């Protein structure tokens, strides 16, 4: 047991900003620090660290505590484990009140035991590499042939698994490790006859560390020529390791990633090692597996800027193409570097050195739109069908971008590269955006009709036509009222257990507003809400930097009308306000807004029909088909309760 004096010393030394800073990219916000919460998915920081109070608090998910609580929650450690972690971090010597008995060791949690077993395995494999004849002649020779120094081998705890049936198993059990724990850790396997054998044999070993530096898994590269065995094998999933949630090298790279505000992503273990050894230490690897959202989210804790560095062969290019969309969905700023044919990051930096490698990355990194366009359009050549498919692929990527200004910029650039009218691509991007939204949100039939027929996407401010700041247009009035109920009632839960904000966004979230200030307000709200920001915070105009938005929100809160108290005091008549019937207010406002969108589009179709060339039958049929669809939606909406229609 750890003595009370040691516990007090640990808690006294541990600083919340230093402990959290090992796992979260924190930025100064007045007297506090802020970052993206590590306990729930968010894109707008709501996680606050107070150095003065030595605590953390997330205003999105409610997580809160001190340095010890953070380590326990984040690293899934027990109380003693978290204390030992902090003691090691602050170099505090632990005083034990009594030693653990064998019985107490057996009662430790499985997770604790797995961590201990993995630590032992890492030491065993490294000892085999550095001290045994087989390890030095095979494993160490391989690493030295690849140019890895003693420091790199030590920093990453590289090792060697001997070419033996059960050498590790026997050594581990002799050291006191139970067979069932070794099996659960994926270090040994059991035969039907109950005999145990080593899972890793005749392989150089690459330990995989979690964010706190604990070994949770291994990757092993075979050293013998055996066509029946895979070149690389990895630890199976365990209670402490989930495939696809970690990237190789994150523990060694996290500080430099935060410092440089950029992460280089490569494919293999040796790519990471060579770049790290060359001084390019803000690098991690997906370890040859398809990139996952969880891996991207992990990187996003430390930076939103990522550079993919992949081989120039077909497999490398395809891997880069697959990874781009996942990163865009997670709001990452993505650049791509494709190395010359026959090169990978490992060979490139070994042959050309650090300065040349960094210069090559700087000179050849392409924004994802130019990378995709260069690859896909080049492969399509002059084939119209393939070019259309390539452009659609690029448009799908653009539709994943959340920032409307970035989305508009990439749409414009895509139109130049594809040599197509920007208006055409705007329409396609808008369709894809709505399609993506509808995949994750159930929209009513009428809402979907309005979204599908919407003709334009918000473009760059420089290209926006001047718009009067009045709200006389009927649609502007409805948009203003829609934002009113979103901000006023969005935090409330409706009868069917749905948050009012979700109800509103599910019905109209895929339809851009026509008033510029309203659309900017709507964009910021959606982005913050999706990032986990509390609606009560979004209701405060001080949250917004845009002066026009702040003025608009203040105006929303001020009603030109005030209910006279005489209705109740003198006439004994109770008048219900929007606060009393807020849910009906939300539903009727949403229906009324969609209804006016339908009317607006029907009007646009009638105007188009007036000037349509009588001989253009194809266009005529298209307009009439759209008109019929919208008229059906109009009838459906008119039947909704609470919708008052003035004729």
pLDDT of 446 reads 55
CA angle 285-290-291, nearest 5°?
A: 60
pLDDT digits (tens, 9 = 90+) for 560-582: 334 455 545 555 544 444 555 78
pLDDT digits (tens, 9 = 90+) for 47-85: 888 887 788 888 888 788 888 889 888 887 778 888 888
Beta partners for 198?
188
Question: In this structure, are residues 404 and 458 in contact, taking their beta carbons and an 8 Å threshold?
Answer: yes
Helical H runs in 509-616?
Answer: 516-530, 535-538, 547-557, 566-569, 582-611
Gap between the terminal Cα atoms of the chain: 81
pLDDT digits (tens, 9 = 90+) for 125-170: 999 999 999 999 999 999 999 999 999 999 999 999 999 999 999 9
pLDDT digits (tens, 9 = 90+) for 526-565: 878 777 777 877 777 767 777 778 778 877 765 433 445 5
Beta partners for 335?
307, 367
Pick the closest to residue 399 from 443, 441, 434 (CA basis): 434
Average pLDDT, the chain: 81
Give the count of beta carbons closer than 10 Å to the beta carbon of residue 85. 21
SS3 (DSSP) at 281: coil
Q: CA-to-CA distance for 348 and 85, rounded, in angstroms? A: 38
Question: In this structure, are residues 434 and 457 in contact, taking their beta carbons and an 8 Å threshold?
Answer: no
Q: CA-to-CA distance for 49 and 29, rounded, in angstroms? A: 10
**% the chain with pLDDT above 90:** 26
What mean pLDDT is predicted for residues 475-502?
85
Pick the closest to residue 339 from 318, 365, 367, 321 (CA basis): 365
Extract the tokens encoding 18. 């230093």
pLDDT of 464 reads 36
Q: Which residues of 526-542 are buried (b: 16+ CB within 10 A; e: fewer)?
A: bbbbbbbbebeebbebe
Pick the closest to residue 349 from 252, 283, 260, 257 (CA basis): 283
Q: How far is CA 530 from CA 13, 44, 387, 509, 642, in A?
A: 36, 8, 34, 12, 29
Q: How far is CA 50 from CA 16, 17, 30, 243, in A?
A: 8, 8, 10, 34
What pLDDT band is residue 447 in, cutting at 50, 70 and 90?
A: low
Q: Indicate if the pLDDT at residue 118 is higher than 50.
A: yes
pLDDT of 220 reads 95
pLDDT of 438 reads 52
Q: Indicate if the pLDDT at residue 371 is higher than 80.
A: yes
Q: CA-to-CA distance for 21 and 28, rounded, in angstroms? A: 12
Q: Indicate if the pLDDT at residue 361 is higher than 80.
A: yes
H or E stretch at 205: strand 203-209
Q: CA-to-CA distance for 214 and 206, rounded, in angstroms? A: 13
Q: CA-to-CA distance for 395 and 387, rounded, in angstroms? A: 12
pLDDT of 98 reads 55
Under the phi-then-psi rule, with left for phi > 0, alpha for psi from -120 to 50, and beta for the rest, what region is 83? alpha
Q: Indicate if the pLDDT at residue 469 is higher than 60.
A: no
pLDDT of 313 reads 74
Q: pTM for the full model?
A: 0.60
Domains, the chain, in order of start with CATH, read 4-99 (3.90.580.10), 107-234 (3.90.980.10), 250-364 (3.40.1360.10), 377-440 (no CATH), 461-563+577-638 (1.10.860)
Q: CA-to-CA distance for 364 and 321, rounded, in angstroms? A: 16
| C-alpha Rg value of the chain to the nearest Å | 30
pLDDT of 468 reads 39
Q: Running DSSP on this structure, what letter comes out for residue 96? A: B
pLDDT of 574 reads 45
Extract the tokens encoding 320. 């880069």
What pLDDT band is residue 205 in, cutting at 50, 70 and 90?
A: very high
Tracing tokens 């007045």 back to the chain, one arrives at 30
């Amino acid at each position: 047991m750890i003595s009370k004096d040691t516990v007090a010393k640990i808690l006294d030394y541990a600083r919340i900003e230093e402990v959290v800073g090992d796992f979260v990219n924190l930025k100064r916000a007045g007297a506090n620090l802020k970052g993206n919460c590590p306990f729930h998915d968010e894109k707008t920081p709501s996680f606050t660290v107070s150095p003065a109070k030595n605590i953390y608090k997330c205003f999105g998910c409610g997580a809160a505590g001190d340095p010890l609580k953070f380590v326990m929650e984040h690293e899934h450690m027990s109380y003693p484990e978290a204390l030992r972690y902090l003691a090691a971090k602050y170099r505090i010597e632990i005083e034990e009140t009594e030693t653990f008995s064998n019985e107490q060791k057996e009662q430790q949690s499985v997770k604790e035991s797995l961590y201990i077993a993995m630590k032992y395995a890492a030491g065993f494999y490294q000892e085999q590499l550095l001290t045994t004849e087989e390890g030095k002649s095979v494993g160490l020779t391989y690493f030295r042939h690849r140019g890895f120094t003693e420091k790199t081998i030590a920093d990453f705890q590289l090792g060697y698994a001997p070419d033996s049936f059960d050498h590790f198993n026997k050594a581990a059990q002799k050291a006191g490790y139970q067979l069932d724990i070794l099996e659960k850790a994926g270090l040994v396997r059991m035969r039907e006859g109950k005999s145990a054998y080593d899972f890793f044999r005749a392989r150089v070993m690459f330990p995989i560390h979690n964010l706190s530096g604990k070994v949770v898994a291994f990757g092993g590269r075979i050293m013998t020529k055996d066509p029946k065995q895979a070149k690389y094998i990895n630890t199976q999933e365990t209670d402490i390791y989930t495939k696809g949630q970690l990237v190789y090298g994150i523990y060694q790279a996290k500080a430099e990633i935060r410092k440089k505000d950029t992460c280089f992503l490569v494919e293999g273990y040796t790519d990471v090692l060579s770049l790290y050894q060359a001084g390019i230490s803000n690098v991690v690897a997906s370890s040859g597996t398809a990139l996952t959202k969880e891996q991207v989210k992990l990187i996003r804790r430390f930076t939103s800027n990522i550079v993919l560095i992949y081989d120039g062969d077909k497999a490398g290019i395809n891997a880069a193409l697959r990874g781009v969309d996942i990163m865009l969905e997670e709001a990452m700023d993505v650049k791509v570097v494709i190395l010359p044919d026959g090169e990978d990051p490992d060979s490139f930096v070994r042959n050309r050195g650090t300065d040349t490698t960094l210069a090559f990355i700087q000179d050849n990194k392409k924004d994802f739109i130019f990378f995709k366009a260069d690859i896909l359009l080049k492969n399509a050549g002059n084939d119209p069908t393939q070019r259309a498919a390539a452009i659609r692929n690029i448009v799908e990527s653009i539709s994943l971008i959340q920032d409307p200004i970035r989305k508009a910029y990439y749409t414009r650039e895509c139109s130049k590269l594809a040599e197509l009218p920007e208006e055409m691509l705007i329409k396609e991007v808008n369709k894809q955006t709505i399609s993506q939204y509808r995949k994750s949100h159930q929209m009513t039939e009428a809402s979907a009709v309005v979204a599908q027929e919407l003709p334009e996407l918000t473009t760059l401010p420089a290209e926006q036509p001047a718009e009067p700041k009045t709200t006389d247009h009927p649609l502007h009035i409805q948009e203003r009222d829609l934002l009113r109920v979103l901000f006023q009632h969005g935090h409330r839960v409706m009868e069917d257990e749905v948050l009012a904000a979700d109800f509103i966004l599910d019905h109209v979230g895929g339809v851009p507003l026509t008033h510029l200030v309203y659309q900017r307000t709507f964009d910021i709200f959606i982005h913050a809400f999706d990032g986990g920001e509390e609606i009560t915070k979004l209701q405060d105009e001080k949250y917004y930097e845009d002066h026009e938005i702040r003025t608009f929100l203040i105006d929303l809160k001020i009603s030109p009308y005030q209910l006279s108290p005489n209705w109740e005091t003198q006439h004994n008549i109770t008048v219900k306000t929007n606060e009393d019937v807020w849910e009906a207010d939300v539903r009727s406002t949403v229906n009324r807004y969609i209804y006016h969108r339908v009317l607006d589009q029907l009007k646009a179709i009638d105007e188009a029909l007036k000037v349509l060339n009588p001989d253009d039958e194809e266009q005529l049929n298209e307009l009439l088909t759209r008109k019929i669809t919208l008229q059906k939606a109009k009838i459906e909406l008119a039947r909704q309760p609470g919708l008052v229609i003035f004729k």
